[in-house]
């Protein structure tokens, strides 16, 4: 009976595996919901997994039972046959109806959750924008492109597909950020998810399921968080070369911090005074000379968003870059574990972006547009100046957020 014993061990091992999976607690875990929607989904899954687990164990148990009880070594010399039962209509109709009833139960559970999480009408939220109190219909436009995410905040406009138009030429927004989306805690936020090139998928597992970002379409979705914190995500629709390197985060702040964040982001940056001995000043000039044809720092290299000469026509807006804790499509941190400005990774990225993240930006054929950040062949001195300058594009985020950005 060793066969059946082995199989029994297999079943036990499988249950162990599932249990181990539930005990996770890692950043992308789908079983640690931190919002209403995610919790509803998780509860639904738990219930159905329980039903499925019982059915699975019954089937496996029946097989093991029969393997133990009914096994014969050989048919040689054995002309005894078991009863030749070919059918039993009552039984068969029964086990057509019973699974159907189970599925009806599952269907009802599903229907309730499905329509609940697709209800994306969010309540208005009072914010102060440029000194005026305004009632924000909390919507954030989420734009994917190879291989990073942009988040756009419009506080006063009525944001819909008509207003937004072409994802490649979106109307100017109050705040444009990249890699990290900031939301107020405990507030349902409506997302309009789109793409500037291929299909991506926006997913913060702790906060909700995912939604594809598809060019030419603004997919409605919703997000919220129970508690302040940093929540991780990963693009989940295969989007080409550096799909694995396309990550994002959502940071939930309490109402006061969120208002502070808005206030800070609304202030344009200022150009440092010219001073050849000051690395920050040299960095600002280097930024305008080398970077500003694709990247915007509002107040320094202009006020209008730039049409970058890459396929998606967009590069991350770097205004208040140092207030973010991640860059390069969510894979590198702007601050080290100790809270220091992450000079090493920033220099590495400026020196050789293709070594951090594969791209199609160098050695292209004539007329072919880059996808990803090209290697500009910057000198070490320019790189160090740029790193120094970028640090001034603050304000610096809180220590809690910096610490929470680290993946343990």
Partner 1 sequence: MAIIEEPLALTSGEQHAERPLGVLTRPQADGSWKDWVSTVDHKKIGIMYGVAAMFFFLVGGLEALLIRTQLAFPENGFLSADVYNQIFTMHGVTMIFLFVMPFAAAFANYLIPLQIGARDVAFPRLNALSFWVWLSGAIFLNTTWIVGGGGADCGWFCYSPNSGVTFSPTNGVDFYAIGLLITGIASLVSAVNLAVTCLNMRAPGMSLFRMPVLTWMLLVTQFLLAFALPVITVALLLLLFDRQFDSQFFDPEAGADPLLWQHLFWIFGHPEVYIIILPSFGIISEVIPVFSRKPIFGYSFMVFSGIAIGFMGWGVWAHHMFVSGIGPISVFAFSMATMFIAVPTGVKILNWLATMWGGKLNFTTAMLFAVGTVTMFTIGGLSGVTHSLAPADTQQTDTYYIVAHFHYVIFGGGVLGLFAGVYFWWPKVFGHFLDERRGKIHFWTMLIGFNLTFGPMHVLGLQGMSRRIDTYSSGFGFEFWNLVSTLGSYLLGLSVLYFLWNVYKSKKDAPNLPPPGPDPWDARSLEWSVPSPTPEHNFDEIPVVESQDDWWFRKYNIEDDGSVVRVATAEDAAQKGDAKGVHLPSPSFWPLVLAIGLPLIGYGVIFNLWLCVVGGLLTGGAIYAWVLEPVDDPDADDHGHDDHHDGHDPDGELAAVGAGDNEGEG
Residue 40 found at the interface with partner 1 (CB under 8 A)? yes
Residue 273 found at the interface with partner 1 (CB under 8 A)? no
Residue 88 found at the interface with partner 1 (CB under 8 A)? yes
* The token pair that represents 127 in the structure block: 């914010």
Measured CA to CA, the distance from residue 322 to residue 310 in angstroms comes to 24
**Looking at 17, 169, 267, 307, which residue binds partner 1 (CB under 8 A)?**
17
State the number of binding residues for partner 1 (CB under 8 A): 108
Beta-bridged to residue 149, according to DSSP, are 144
Q: Which is nearer to partner 1, 145 or 323 (CB)?
A: 145
Q: Smallest distance, Å, CB 191 to partner 1?
A: 12
**Looking at 84, 90, 123, 133, which residue binds partner 1 (CB under 8 A)?**
84
* The token pair that represents 386 in the structure block: 């740029």
Residue 190 found at the interface with partner 1 (CB under 8 A)? no
* The token pair that represents 221 in the structure block: 């979705």
* The token pair that represents 13 in the structure block: 């091992």
Q: Which of residues 348-367 bind partner 1 (CB under 8 A)?
A: 358
Q: Smallest distance, Å, CB 257 to partner 1?
A: 26
**Looking at 67, 266, 306, 348, which residue binds partner 1 (CB under 8 A)?**
67
> Which span (169-177, 190-198, 273-281, 392-400) binds partner 1, by CB under 8 A?
190-198
Binding mask 120-159 for partner 1 (x = CB under 8 A): --------------------------x-------------
Q: Which residues of 277-309 are buried (b: 16+ CB within 10 A; e: fewer)?
A: eebbbbbbbbbeebbbebbbbbebbeeebbebe
Give the phi and the psi of residue 249 in degrees, each rounded to 5.
-135, 155
**Looking at 6, 90, 123, 133, which residue binds partner 1 (CB under 8 A)?**
6
159 contacts 129 by C-beta, under 8 angstroms: no
H/E run at residue 345: helix 343-351
352 contacts 362 by C-beta, under 8 angstroms: no
**Mind spelling out the 3-state secondary structure of 262-327?**
HHHHHCCCCCCCCCCCCHHHHHHHHHHHHCCCCCCCECCCECCCCCCCCCCCCCCCCCCHHHCCEE
> Which span (57-65, 290-298, 341-349, 373-381) binds partner 1, by CB under 8 A?
57-65
**Looking at 5, 8, 36, 75, which residue binds partner 1 (CB under 8 A)?**
75
Q: Which is nearer to partner 1, 33 or 283 (CB)?
A: 33
Residue 373 found at the interface with partner 1 (CB under 8 A)? no
**Looking at 170, 262, 310, 311, which residue binds partner 1 (CB under 8 A)?**
311
Q: Smallest distance, Å, CB 198 to partner 1?
A: 4
Measured CA to CA, the distance from residue 373 to residue 379 in angstroms comes to 16
Q: Which is nearer to partner 1, 114 or 381 (CB)?
A: 114
**38 exposed, middle or buried (CB, 10 Å; 0-12, 13-18, 19+)?**
buried
Nearest by Cα to 190 from 158, 167, 215, 168 = 158
Residue 403 found at the interface with partner 1 (CB under 8 A)? no
Q: How many CB atoms lie within 10 A of CB 93?
A: 10
Q: Which of residues 221-240 bind partner 1 (CB under 8 A)?
A: 232, 234-240
Q: Which is nearer to partner 1, 209 or 279 (CB)?
A: 209
Measured CA to CA, the distance from residue 205 to residue 31 in angstroms comes to 8
**Looking at 138, 179, 184, 205, which residue binds partner 1 (CB under 8 A)?**
205
Give the phi and the psi of residue 190 in degrees, each rounded to 5.
-90, 135
Residue 25 found at the interface with partner 1 (CB under 8 A)? yes
């Amino acid at each position: 009976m060793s066969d059946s014993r082995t199989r029994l061990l297999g079943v036990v091992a499988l249950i162990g595996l599932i249990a181990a999976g539930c005990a996770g607690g890692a950043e992308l875990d789908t079983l640690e919901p931190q919002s209403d929607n995610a919790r509803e989904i998780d509860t639904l899954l738990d219930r159905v997994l329980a039903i499925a687990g019982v059915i699975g164990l019954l089937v496996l148990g029946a097989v093991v039972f029969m393997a133990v009880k009914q096994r014969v070594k050989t048919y040689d010399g054995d002309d005894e046959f078991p009863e030749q039962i070919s059918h039993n209509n009552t039984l068969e109709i029964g086990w057509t109806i019973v699974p159907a009833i189970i599925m009806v139960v599952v269907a009802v559970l599903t229907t309730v959750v499905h329509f609940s999480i697709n209800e994306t009408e969010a309540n208005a939220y009072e914010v102060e924008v440029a000194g005026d109190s305004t009632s924000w219909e909390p919507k954030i436009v989420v734009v994917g492109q190879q291989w990073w995410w942009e988040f756009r905040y419009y506080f006063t406009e009525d944001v819909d597909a008509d207003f937004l138009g072409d994802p490649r030429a979106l109307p100017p927004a109050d705040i444009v950020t990249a890699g990290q989306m900031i939301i107020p805690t405990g507030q349902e936020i409506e997302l309009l998810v789109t793409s500037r090139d291929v299909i991506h998928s926006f997913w913060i597992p702790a906060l909700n399921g995912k939604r594809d970002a598809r060019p030419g379409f603004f997919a409605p979705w919703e997000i919220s968080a129970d508690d302040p914190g940093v929540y991780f995500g990963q693009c989940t629709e295969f989007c080409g070369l550096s799909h694995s390197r396309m990550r994002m985060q959502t940071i939930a702040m309490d109402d006061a911090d969120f208002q502070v964040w808005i206030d800070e982001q609304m202030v344009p940056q200022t150009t440092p005074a010219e001073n050849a001995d000051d690395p920050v000043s040299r960095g600002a000039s280097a930024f305008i000379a080398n970077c500003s044809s694709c990247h915007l720092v509002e107040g320094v290299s202009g006020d209008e968003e730039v049409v970058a000469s890459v396929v998606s026509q967009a590069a991350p807006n770097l205004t208040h870059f140092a207030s973010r804790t991640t860059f390069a499509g969510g894979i590198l941190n702007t601050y080290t574990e100790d809270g220091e400005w992450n000079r090493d990774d920033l220099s590495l990225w400026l020196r050789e972006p293709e070594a951090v993240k594969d791209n199609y930006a160098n050695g292209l054929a004539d007329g072919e547009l880059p996808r990803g950040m090209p290697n500009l062949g910057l000198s070490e001195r320019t790189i160090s100046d740029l790193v120094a300058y970028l640090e001034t594009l603050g304000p610096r985020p809180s220590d809690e957020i910096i610490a929470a950005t680290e993946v343990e």
